[in-house]
Amino acid sequence: MIIGLTEKLKNDFGITFKHPALLDEAFTHASYVNEHPRKKLKYYERIEFLGDAVMQLCVSEYLYKRYPSMPEGKLSRLRAAMVCEDSFSKFAKECNFDEYIRLGKGEEKANARQRPSLLCDIFESFIGALYQDQGKKGVDQFIGQVVFPKLDMGWFDHLLDHKTELQELLQKSGEVAISYTEVTDEGPEHDKQYTMTVSANGTVLGTGQGHSKKAAEQNAANAALKKLNAK
Amino acid sequence: MIIGLTEKLKNDFGITFKHPALLDEAFTHASYVNEHPRKKLKYYERIEFLGDAVMQLCVSEYLYKRYPSMPEGKLSRLRAAMVCEDSFSKFAKECNFDEYIRLGKGEEKANARQRPSLLCDIFESFIGALYQDQGKKGVDQFIGQVVFPKLDMGWFDHLLDHKTELQELLQKSGEVAISYTEVTDEGPEHDKQYTMTVSANGTVLGTGQGHSKKAAEQNAANAALKKLNAK
């Protein structure tokens, strides 16, 4: 058993593993197994193979449902930005998973514990263990806490331009005049809340709020996209 | 509704869609939508995005469970051979999915209906529709009929060398003498059935049968792998 890991998962994420041996496998690097041949340990690579595919599906399904009018190309670019070494290593670090990896001495000296590729592997292998222990539902709950909030925190905003998406959608069927109008600004100067509407050929399609005009416009475009798609 | 498709799925695979509109989306190409702008149709690309990830997980999970002693590298190579345009286009063709695609006239003339990349897309989009309609269980049942039997039919045998895998597993803990011995050959000359055993340091680990000595050896190695892994 890896000391402290089960408590950590329980306290931080409300997760209790039915089969903690899966966690041992998920957090054990091949270099540790090689140094302890008598313990007959398993290392994480097989379980990581599974976890990688689990993440691919869970993220795809979430994006597919959350952005019902987003074209496939944009969905794919967004998925690629979320399901990648850079993102996964950050998620692993945020969960303090680096502290629980069982590493061989050589790898420890080489500072592998902080290597993004290893952190990414551990995030995937943890997901593979969680999937086996608690099914897709358990994984969806965990990444609902750790991964998906990043969309609202702006991590992927460079890929989420709702104004461009709305424009592309509206102009599919010919030329359309799109305009954004400020309705109100409320609150004190340092905490102003703007409300904007977006119109096509004079008809209001959506309203959005935000702490800047730009953010309020993006939210108005997003509201319009949701409405148009629900038709 | 696409004529004949729901009957086909019911007769061939016992599948009845609760939401047949998903099937319409899955089998409609963008070129058809462009030619019929008034019908406000959806084309398959978004649903294909989902189906691709569904296949990735279903195949990964199946391989992970079926080959419990297979190292990650080999699992990945096998998955890549199963989840690819070449395989998916063959599965789509086998299911006669090509007959039901709604295509624009230009694409029809260009013989897109038989293009492997389009057939692959349609297989993925069908899987995306099936997943939304009947969950992962429904997809597992369908690919249990169409995809996984190909493993036993030898489609991927060049990637499934059980003898090498057994040797690698046994020699992990030091030098081991592995030998294959013919036990019997039965049946007429044109339909002979060979039985072989595999031993490590003189202890029999597995028995296998086949229509050639080579096939019987592979099956003996596979039996040994299953036994060693169950320990």
State the average pLDDT over residues A96-122. 96
| A121 annotated to bind ligand | yes
State yes or no: pLDDT of A231 exceeds 70: no
State yes or no: pLDDT of B115 exceeds 70: yes
Q: Are A177 and A170 in contact (CB under 8 A)?
A: no
From A57's Cα to the closest Cα of chain B, the distance in A is 5
State yes or no: pLDDT of B146 exceeds 70: yes
- CATH H-level, domain A5-156: superfamily: Ribonuclease III domain (1.10.1520.10)
Q: Name the residue type at position B146.
A: V
Residue A206's alpha-carbon distances to A182, A214, B62, in angstroms, are 12, 15, 46
Indicate the range of A169-173, B33-37, B42-46 predicted with least confidence.
A169-173
State the average pLDDT over residues A178-188. 92
Mean pLDDT taken over chain A: 93
Query: Is the CB of residue B50 less than 8 Å away from at least one CB of chain A?
Result: yes
Q: Are B23 and B42 in contact (CB under 8 A)?
A: no
Residue A39: per-residue pLDDT: 84
Residue A160: per-residue pLDDT: 80
State the CATH architecture for B5-158: Orthogonal Bundle (1.10)
CA B231 – CA B209 distance, rounded (Å)? 23
pLDDT, one tens digit per residue, over B198-219 is: 999 999 999 999 988 988 999 9
From A72's Cα to the closest Cα of chain B, the distance in A is 5
State the average pLDDT over residues B86-107. 97
CATH of A161-230, one of 3.30.360.10, 3.90.79.10, 3.30.160.20, 3.40.50.2300: 3.30.160.20
Catalytic option among B25, B52, B133, B217: B52
CA B83 – CA B62 distance, rounded (Å)? 12
- Contacts with B71 from chain A: Cβ below 8 Å: 45-46
CA B67 – CA B86 distance, rounded (Å)? 23
Residue A3: per-residue pLDDT: 87
State yes or no: pLDDT of A230 exceeds 70: no
Residue B227: per-residue pLDDT: 83
State the average pLDDT over residues B129-145. 98
CB contact under 8 A, B72 and A45: yes
Per-domain boundaries in chain A: 5-156, 161-230
Beta bridge partners of A184: A195
For B137-201, what is the HEC assignment?
Answer: HHHHHHHHHHCCHHHHCCCCHHHCCHHHHHHHHHHHHCCCCEEEEEEEEECCHHHCEEEEEEEEC
State the CATH architecture for B162-230: 2-Layer Sandwich (3.30)
CA B153 – CA B223 distance, rounded (Å)? 18
To which residue do tokens 């990043």 refer?
A150
ipTM for this model = 0.79
